[in-house]
Amino acid sequence: MTIIMNSSRTSSYKPALAWFAALGAAWVFGVVTLGAFTTSIHAGMVFPDWPLSNGSINPDGWLTEIDKFAEHSHRLFGMIMGFLAIGLVIWLHLREERRWLRKLGWAALSIVVIQGLLGGKRVLLDSIAVPGFEMSLGEMLRIPHGILAQVYVCILFAIAAGLSRPWIEGIPINGGDISRGVRRLAVASTLLIFGQLVIAALMRHNNAGLAIPTFPLTPEGGLVPSQWDFRVGIHFAHRAMALVLTVVLVWLAVWLRRSPATGTGLKQSANLIVGLLAVQILLGAVSVWTIRNPYYTTAHVICGAFLLATVFTVTWWLHRHVLVRRETTPLAA
């Protein structure tokens, strides 16, 4: 029995929908930037209520006081992100026949809802103490809130890539054209970056950014701290993972540059990965040298998100043949 698809749904290139998805992928960086800056200046509780700010959508002082501006702007950007996610889900449902893309749209919307709830509960539960921990329950929710934001970035980039003209109209890729080693290394790189961002979230929200206050050596002049506690351990893990990622990402970039099956776009992405990696290392060092200047610290967070998005998109593209094969399989029983 052949399944008849809704005639209004197609997998052809739709410029308006593709640009709308790209807008969502770009807008999320505004949300992440404001969230990171809010945390960097310790302004997460400048408004003790939610979803309104001091009972208003236009609270006094938010355009003149930096802490109020950061937190309220983060809330407003998040609200607009929610509207964009709703619009994307509806548009995909009406016009896109590829089921995996529609599912990704729903996944993105679900994360926006969860993120909104986590952000709200972070404020409303701030006064609830957790026995045995220095952080309150509300403060603990900052960690999954930050981690889930990175997942959301990847989903939006996956949708934007799938709706792009090169993905839809590009030359079909045989999985064998791309070395299995390259694809595995790309997957490993994505997972390692995500792991590093989880470590960074734990470090950031446990106030461990200066647990080792010098860089690249410790205050004792060595590479390994002489005294340890949880904050020192999580900070050192962040530095150690950065070293691992430097090796792995440079290796990935070299393979992408040398592979005869990778096109111009992937080779340029390899250059971008190396460039972002260099900037990220520099920003991490400067953040320590300036005693966690909020602007450098925020830039470090954003560069990390850009690096994850770039490596993830490369990995997603290297597995395009799997999804294209699924797209072209006849829906028949």
Helices and strands of the chain, counted as H and E runs: 11, 0
Distance separating alpha carbons of residues 284 and 282, to the nearest angstrom: 5
Do residues 17 and 163 touch, judged by C-beta distance below 8 A? yes
* Predicted local distance difference test score (pLDDT) of residue 323: 78
Tell me the β-bridge partners of 128.
none
Share of the chain above pLDDT 90, in %: 83
Residue 295 pLDDT greater than 60, yes or no? yes
Place 331 in a pLDDT band, splitting at 50, 70 and 90: very low
Q: What is the mean pLDDT of the chain?
A: 91
* Predicted local distance difference test score (pLDDT) of residue 318: 92
* Predicted local distance difference test score (pLDDT) of residue 321: 80
* Predicted local distance difference test score (pLDDT) of residue 327: 64
Residue 147 pLDDT greater than 80, yes or no? yes
Residue 304 pLDDT greater than 90, yes or no? yes
Q: Which of 157, 115, 151, 137 is nearest to 205 (CA)?
A: 137
Can you tell me which residue has the tokens 């770039």? 310
Neighbour tally for 258: CB within 10 Å:
12
* Predicted local distance difference test score (pLDDT) of residue 30: 97
> In this predicted model, what pLDDT tens digit does every residue of 213-258 receive, in sequence order?
999 999 999 999 999 999 999 999 999 999 999 999 999 999 999 8
Question: What angle in degrees, to the nearest 10, is found between the helix axes of 294-318 and 230-258?
Answer: 40
* Predicted local distance difference test score (pLDDT) of residue 216: 95
Q: Which of 285, 278, 313 is nearest to 162 (CA)?
A: 313
| Cα dihedral: 196, 202, 208, 210 (round 10) | 30
Q: 208: burial class by Cβ within 10 Å (0-12, 13-18, 19+)?
A: buried
pTM of structure: 0.91
* Predicted local distance difference test score (pLDDT) of residue 268: 94
Catalogue all structural domains in the chain, each as residue range(s) with its CATH number: 13-170 (no CATH), 172-333 (1.20.120)
Q: 22: burial class by Cβ within 10 Å (0-12, 13-18, 19+)?
A: middle
* Predicted local distance difference test score (pLDDT) of residue 326: 67
Neighbour tally for 121: CB within 10 Å:
16
Stretch (H or E) spanning 58: none
Neighbour tally for 225: CB within 10 Å:
16
Q: Which residue has the higher pLDDT, 179 or 204?
A: 204
Residue 317 pLDDT greater than 70, yes or no? yes
Residue 5 pLDDT greater than 50, yes or no? no
Distance separating alpha carbons of residues 312 and 62, to the nearest angstrom: 36
> In this predicted model, what pLDDT tens digit does every residue of 18-66 receive, in sequence order?
999 999 999 999 999 999 999 999 999 999 999 999 999 999 999 999 9
* Predicted local distance difference test score (pLDDT) of residue 169: 84
Tokens standing for residue 257:
């540059």
Q: How many angstroms separate the first and last alpha carbons of the chain? A: 5
Mean pLDDT in residue range 156-181: 81
